[in-house]
Amino acid sequence: MSAVVYVPRDAAALSLGAERVARAIEQEAAARNIDLTVRRNGSRGMYWLEPLVEVVVDGERYAYGPVRAQDAPALFDAEFLRNGAHPLQLGPTERIPYLSSQQRLTFERVGVIEPSNLEDYVAHGGYRGLRNALSMQPAEVVQAVTDSGLRGRGGAAFPTGLKWKTVLEAQAPQKYVTCNADEGDSGTFADRMLMEGDPFALIEGMTIAGMAVGASRGFIYLRIEYPHAHRVLTEAIAAAYRAGYLGADVLGSGRAFDLEVRLGAGAYICGEETSMLESLEGRRGEVRVRPPLPAIKGLFGQPTIVNNVISLASAPLILDRGATFYREYGVGRSRGTLPIQLAGNIKRGGLVERAFGLSLRELLYDYGGGSASGRPLRAVQIGGPLGAYVPASQFDTIIDYEALAEIGALLGHGGVVAFDDTVDMARMARYAMEFCALESCGKCTPCRIGSTRGVEVIDRILKDVDRAKNLELLEDLCETMVEGSLCGLGGMAPFPVRSALRHFRDDFLRSG
């Protein structure tokens, strides 16, 4: 019988040499006349252990990592195919505490299955949700999503079921389901991991959405920076068409759902939903004035669902195991699980999917193990470049929508970027304005001009030019941007700036 070894093809694992590791294991097996199959999975999301190699022994998976290509001969010498002892040996993968303490629902299959292997997906519970949805009335499907308590995981946290209900009730000859896969926030990679590790979950989720609201066409708007995800999605969509899960007659239901991937072109603003719709229509990604909401008048003027990857990929399990199963996870109004991405200056970065309720401290120290540099952590930025900086004194805050809002922070897409005590928070504040200026679509003045003025004002503060007056001016400018911008880019770029001013004022007061 052929031995089975898993080596991830996840982009981050590849960035650490996973391809060379896979080749080295194959070559070493050939040289030793060992019958061996290398399967390519997604990542388990323990990135300090990547490339993480798993072997299957008596149906259980055992891990070794981080493996370099040059480790291959020694691993064979140590009989790693029989879980032999070796310095890189980690034991049964699912008993590694980082993983075993998680509640993987949306990421249940990521790192486990072969991503674009449809049979593997179905064997692991895939497409049960769609089959259930097809046996229900559309309104019942929408009700299940509403009852689950799922809120948009892209950042805005809008109740997903409510959005779907609006599209269902809209009357139009053509409706659309669009997936916002323009995951541009620094510190976030959950969408990428899911698309690369379990693309059918997204495809199934979008199909369920289409059936629920009566939309026969779907688009995945994928950022150009994700070529690996593009390849996997393209393969998976083709496989779904071949097997009748997509196309003119989804699973013999007589209902159509067509799906295609469209690539972005390096504009951060296209993660804003109306800008994304403009881009999908082939135009400059300038934000639209709301109302009308996309659910009423969206893509090509038709009722359109715009949901994030994780929101859509959560639909299959809600339809499979029921709304109650999902809502039993979580606290207060934050129901279900949240895939948190732990990034930046952290010893054990990766993906942590847990029911809402984990504190920042538990995340950063119990999971993250503190900073990568070994120095004390000084701050984290939550929710990407428009998210607030949270100082170490607030690390006992619980990571959910409401608790973070109470301290003036936002969960966003769930990315947490750690900084050690060498970080200059005035510089980070300046960067927030700089980034906003770079990515502003230009439609509204507070964002377009305000961000450039913001950089200039911070520069004057740092150079000690009329410091007191300019600090006041910066506060004033932030308020104008928050109150007057059309969308979240200009409206939220002041959040990191204000939080840096509030918690790290001394960094602005060093004489220039």
Name the site residues for another protein (rule: CB under 8 A): 11-12, 14-16, 47-48, 50, 183-189, 191-192, 224-228, 262-268, 279-286, 300, 341-346, 349-350, 372, 381, 385, 415, 417-420, 423, 428, 431, 435, 438-439, 441
CB closer to another protein out of 43 and 337: 43
Please, which residue, 336 or 344, has the CB nearer to another protein? Answer: 344
Give me 25's structure tokens: 């294991």
Say whether the peptide bond before residue 199 is cis (omega within 30 degrees of 0): no
* Per-residue tokens: 411: 């969960």
Which runs of E-coded beta strand occur in 196-316? 217-222, 258-263, 304-308
Nearer to another protein, 361 or 427 (CB): 427
Residue pair 347/98 in contact (Cβ under 8 Å)? The answer is no
CB of 354 to another protein, least distance (A): 17
Shortest distance (Å) from residue 326 CB to another protein: 26
CB of 450 to another protein, least distance (A): 19
Q: Which of 393, 349, 396, 409 is nearest to 373 (CA)?
A: 349
Between 55 and 423, name the residue whose CB sits nearer to another protein.
423
Q: Give the separation between CA 264 and CA 182, rounded to whole angstroms.
A: 7
For the CB of residue 496, give the shortest distance to another protein in the complex, in Å.
9
- Report the first-to-last Cα separation within the chain, whole angstroms: 69
For another protein, which is the closer residue by CB, 89 or 186?
A: 186
Structure token digits, residue 401: 């929508």
Count of CB atoms within 10 A of residue 284's CB? 13
Q: Least distance in Å: CB of 24 to another protein?
A: 17
Helix (H, G, I), strand (E, B) or coil at 134: helix
Angle at 399 between CA 397 and CA 400, to 5 degrees: 115
Q: Which two tokens stand for residue 143?
A: 């009700």
Cβ closer to another protein: 12 or 88? 12
| Long-range Cβ pairs for the range 28-32 (8 Å, 24+) | 28/72, 28/73, 28/75, 28/76, 29/3, 29/76, 32/76
Could you check whether the bond before residue 292 is cis, i.e. omega within 30 degrees of 0?
Answer: yes
| CB of 96 vs another protein, minimal distance in Å | 16
Kindly state the smallest distance separating residue 440's Cβ from another protein, in Å.
11
Q: Between 118 and 351, whose beta carbon lies closer to another protein? A: 351
